[in-house]
């Protein structure tokens, strides 16, 4: 279903004096056919304003564009038994380069279909293979052990914090800056949720451009998500931290999130298919002792429209 947003300048005056102005404001709309007066009401509702005397919009334009999660504008989907599943993982193949310097996976046959003919009854064949793979391959999850020597490894993670989490998706593919700030999250409740950052950077996955100039989560934003009790933070970028030389090797997002037991999932894809709220996210790693990272089959259940 197409989604629509309004773009406009605005002037809001208050009954008890003072006012607000906005330039180039964007607001989710429930449909294309929304009157200007209703858009004004939705704006006030989104901003949570009181004592409003008047709202004047200028330069109003309604465009077909994915919703970003304007507060109070789009109602959260009702509980439903009708869902469809969206795959959020990059497929892994032999030779795949996920990060520069990380060895690519190698897949070798242990038993081929042809070789198994002699082992089983006529018409019954099997194939078995060996894969040599780094934990940081494809779409993967970081456990605290990845950052902290005494933190829980993959086998020490609570499955309840990895499966069917309510998701808050932040669509940032039209944002120009690289650093994702704390202010982005102020209008949503992230406690107990998977916070998924759709930057659009996954379009570069598997190319040299993927490792350079990528969006990342700022240190203050990581602090905010930890303080607000997020359960998991995922991003469709090369790293949740800034990997550029300017960062000096510091990894504040990994340090704060994993230090607070908040899971990190990197190299997601397909997040454009998720609504801002209402989907359920899963990313369960292999149950391996002594390992800090693991590829995951990340996916989301998205409610079907009524």
Looking at the domain assignment, is residue 103 inside a domain? no
Answer whether residue 82 is part of any domain. Answer: no
Give pTM, 2 decimals: 0.85
Residue 160 domain flag: yes
Q: Which of 47, 64, 81 is the last residue of a domain?
A: 64
CATH for 219: 3.50.30.50
Identify whether 35 is part of a domain: yes
Are residues 267 and 145 part of one domain?
yes
74 in a structural domain: no
Q: Is residue 240 part of a domain?
A: yes
Among 43, 64, 85, the domain-final residue is: 64
End residue of a domain, out of 37, 64, 91: 64
pLDDT of residue 76: 58
| Counted domains in the chain | 2
Both 20 and 140 in one domain: the answer is no
Note whether 14 and 159 are same-domain residues: no
Say whether both 55 and 191 belong to one domain: no
* Closest C-alpha among 153, 159, 137 to residue 295: 137
In 3D space, the residue among 278, 276, 270 whose CA is nearest the CA of residue 298 turns out to be 270
Per-residue pLDDT tens digits for 86-101? 999 999 999 999 998 9
- Quick check: 56 pLDDT over 70? yes
Are 60 and 144 part of one and the same domain? no
pLDDT in tens, 226-275: 999 999 999 999 999 999 999 999 999 999 999 999 999 999 999 999 99
Do 277 and 139 share a domain, yes or no? yes
User: 57-82: per-residue pLDDT in tens?
Assistant: 999 999 999 888 888 777 655 566 78
Flag whether 43 is in a domain. yes
Cβ-contact 77, 32 below 8 angstroms = no
- One domain for residues 164 and 256: yes
Cα–Cα–Cα angle for 218, 223, 229, rounded to 5 degrees = 125
Instruction: Label residues 250-279 b or e (16+ Cβ within 10 Å = b).
Output: ebbbbebbbeeebbbbbbbbbbebbbbbbb
Domain boundaries, position 47: 4-64
Backbone torsions φ then ψ of 273, nearest 5 degrees: -85, -5
| Dist CA 176 CA 199 (whole Å) | 10
Q: Which residues of 135-148 are buried (b: 16+ CB within 10 A; e: fewer)?
A: bbbbbbbbbbbbbe
Asked if pLDDT for residue 306 goes beyond 70, the answer is no
Residue at 52 is within a domain:
yes
């Amino acid at each position: 279903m197409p989604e629509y947003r309004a773009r406009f300048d605005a002037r809001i005056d208050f009954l008890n004096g003072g006012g607000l102005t906005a330039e180039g404001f964007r607001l989710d709309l429930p449909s294309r056919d929304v009157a200007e007066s209703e858009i004004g009401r939705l704006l006030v509702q989104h901003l949570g304003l009181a004592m409003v005397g008047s709202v004047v919009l200028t330069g109003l334009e309604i465009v077909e564009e994915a919703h970003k999660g304007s507060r109070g504008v789009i109602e959260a989907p009702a509980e439903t038994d009708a869902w469809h599943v969206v795959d959020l993982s990059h497929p892994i193949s032999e030779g795949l380069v996920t990060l520069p310097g990380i060895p690519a996976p190698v897949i070798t046959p242990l038993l081929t279909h042809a070789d198994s003919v002699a082992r089983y009854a006529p018409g019954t064949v099997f194939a078995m293979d060996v894969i040599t793979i780094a934990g940081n391959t494809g779409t993967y999850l970081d456990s605290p052990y990845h950052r902290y020597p005494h933190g829980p490894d993959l086998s020490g993670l609570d499955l309840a914090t990895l499966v069917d989490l309510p998701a808050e998706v932040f669509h940032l593919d039209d944002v120009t800056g690289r650093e994702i700030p704390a202010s982005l999250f102020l209008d949503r409740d992230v406690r107990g949720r998977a916070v998924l950052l759709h930057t659009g950077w996954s379009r570069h996955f598997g190319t040299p451009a993927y490792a350079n100039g990528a969006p990342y989560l700022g240190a203050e934003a990581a602090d905010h998500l930890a303080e607000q009790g997020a359960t998991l933070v995922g991003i469709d970028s090369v790293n949740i931290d800034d990997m550029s030389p300017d960062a000096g090797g510091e990894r504040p997002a990994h340090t704060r999130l994993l230090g607070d037991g908040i899971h990190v999932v990197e190299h997601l894809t397909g997040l454009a298919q998720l609504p801002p709220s209402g989907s359920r996210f899963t990313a369960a790693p292999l149950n391996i002792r002594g390992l800090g990272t693991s590829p995951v089959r990340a996916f989301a259940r998205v409610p079907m429209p009524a």
